[in-house]
Amino acid sequence: MLDIKFIRENLEQIKQTCEQKNCRVDLDKLISLADERGRLIQQTDEIKAKKNQASKGIATMQGDEKQKAIDEMQTITKEEKTIDAKLREIEHEYGKLMLLVPQPCAPETPIGKDDSDNKEEYKNGEVPNFDFEIQDHVTLGENLDIIDIPRAAKVAGSRNYYLKGAGAMLEFAILQYTLNKLVAKGFTVFNPPQIVNYQAMMGTSYFPGGEEQAYAVGVDMGGDKRAPKAENTSDTKNNDSETPKIPFDQKYLIGTSEVPVASYHMDEILDESALPKLYAGYSSCYRREAGTYGKDTHGLYRVHQFYKVEQVVLCKNDPEESKKMHQMLLKNAEEILQDLKLPYRVVNVCTGDIGQGQYFKNDIETWMPSRENYGETHSCSTFLEFQSRRLNIRYRNKEGKISFVHTLNNTAIASPRILIPLLEVYQNADGSINIPEILQPYMGGVQKIEK
């Protein structure tokens, strides 16, 4: 979320960002609500000051004078209730709009409508040339009895899969190797909750707007608990602004461990000396993939359940520090692909393909022979203080000044998608698959998957 002061001072830029990111939000209404909210807060403060002053005076009064003062106090209290009711209404609408305002992109972000306008930055590794007719990962997996999609569809529906035997072991090997690599780099590993509340989804900017992609779990028990306050900004007071009602026990399956890991320090004030926080979240992830019917449906590319090791960083509120952390996260992901000896390219994601809260984003796309193209396997995102304002994560520097942290995240590895290039690049003419040397120790020394 952005600071309302920043929005006011950069209104035309925010309007342009809304167009570039395809975000719909009535900014003129937001400013009007902010003005009205400010006036009502000022009136509330004035009434409270009057009541405090009157209370002190009443204690020293007698007779008719005291009764008159009490009557005036009652009139002021009624006025206060009226203003409070109006303020709650205004803050409700104001809070909803604030959650929809997008973050402006970094100057180096390409202008574009969709992923076809992403800009290639560089490539690494050579695309393999096969002297035999290649098979895709599904055919390879089925022939080796390590992937079973038909039975998964029977049990769980489309876009589900079974990994079996060496296929499951290969996935575990990749995940464990990645965790070990990050631990060696100073990351703290998390096995976080996979079911979270609305506040975590909202705080990491997946809600509102991404509800259709999330699996909701829980039973509506008729509760009246509401979603959390919509704003934590340095220039406003705590308020009772609310997002729409949700059942008190409504929870959501995470689509990435970024959600619970980035939310770990929610409503905390850290010490600057403890930054940066380097976290690696390992979890199952769940996405409905709503609206993607017919797109990348073959095999393991776009599925409902998968595993990820996600890098999450909390650092000082400094653009240069964020840039440094971004490059570090990106390098970690690249090193993993280099260790696996998989060819890839890094792209600069354009305005039409970048998320609402993302300031800058790189994708890593790995070569997938059956697609005769690169396919996205990793994303690296800088949010500045967009998430930390929503999550209310701050830090105190040596001078005692309190600021919001900057947050970043990056996919270290995601499976089974990474199995697509791995199985296809390492295939042999006889349908067997070589195990990358770096993973063989995690496979009990197995060098090849074969019938």
Note the residue count of the chain: 451
164-179 tens-digit pLDDT: 999 999 999 999 999 9
Query: pLDDT per residue over 331-380, tens digit each?
Result: 999 999 999 999 999 999 999 999 999 999 999 999 999 999 999 999 99
Q: Which amino acid, one-letter code, is at 319?
A: P
Token pair of 333, please? Answer: 């992901």
Residue 368's H or E segment, with its range, is strand 360-368
Taking CA atoms, 293 is separated from 242, 302, 416, 426, 432, in Å, by 34, 10, 19, 30, 32
Residue 313: which residues within 8 A CB-CB, separation 6 or more? 276, 277, 278, 279, 325, 328, 329, 407, 408, 409
- 385 and 405 in contact (C-beta within 8 Å)? yes
pLDDT at 51: 75
Q: Tokens 């995690």, residue?
A: 442
Residue 30 has pLDDT above 90, yes or no: yes
Q: Do 403 and 390 contact (CB within 8 A), yes or no?
A: no
- Residue 238: the pLDDT is 39
Lowest mean pLDDT among 92-101, 231-240, 294-303: 231-240
Confidence of residue 435 (pLDDT cuts 50, 70, 90): very high
Give the three-class secondary structure for 187.
coil
Average pLDDT over residues 383-397: 98
Query: What is the C-alpha separation between 50 and 73, in angstroms, rounded?
Result: 9
CA angle 125, 131, 137 (to 5 degrees): 70
**Whether residue 232 has pLDDT greater than 60:** no
* pLDDT reported for residue 384: 98
How confident is the prediction for the chain on average, in pLDDT? 92
Could you report the per-residue pLDDT of 78-101, keeping only the tens digit for each? 888 999 999 999 999 999 999 999
Whether pLDDT at 211 is above 80: yes
Residue type, 170: L
CA distance 351 to 417: 25
Query: Confidence class of residue 221 from pLDDT cuts 50, 70 and 90?
Result: low
Dihedral through CA 161, CA 166, CA 168, CA 171, nearest 10?
Answer: -110
Catalytic center residues: 287, 302, 376, 379, 417
| pLDDT for position 418 | 98
Q: Distances in Å between the alpha carbon of 6 and those of 13, 36, 98, 313?
A: 10, 18, 12, 24
Share of the chain above pLDDT 70, in %: 92
pTM: 0.89
Tell me the three state secondary structure of residue 447.
Answer: coil
| H or E element that contains 29 | helix 27-58
CA proximity to 115, closest of 348, 325, 337: 348
Name which residue leads in pLDDT, 205 or 76.
205
- Residues 300-334: pLDDT tens digits? 999 999 999 999 999 999 999 999 999 999 999 99
Q: Residue 226: pLDDT above 80?
A: no
Domain 115-449: homologous superfamily in CATH? Bira Bifunctional Protein; Domain 2 (3.30.930.10)
pLDDT over 90 (residue 239)? no
What pLDDT was estimated at residue 74? 82
Establish how many alpha carbons lie within 13 A of residue 325's alpha carbon, considering only the half-sphere containing its beta carbon.
29
Given this model, what pLDDT does residue 22 score? Answer: 94
And the tokens for 219? 């039973």
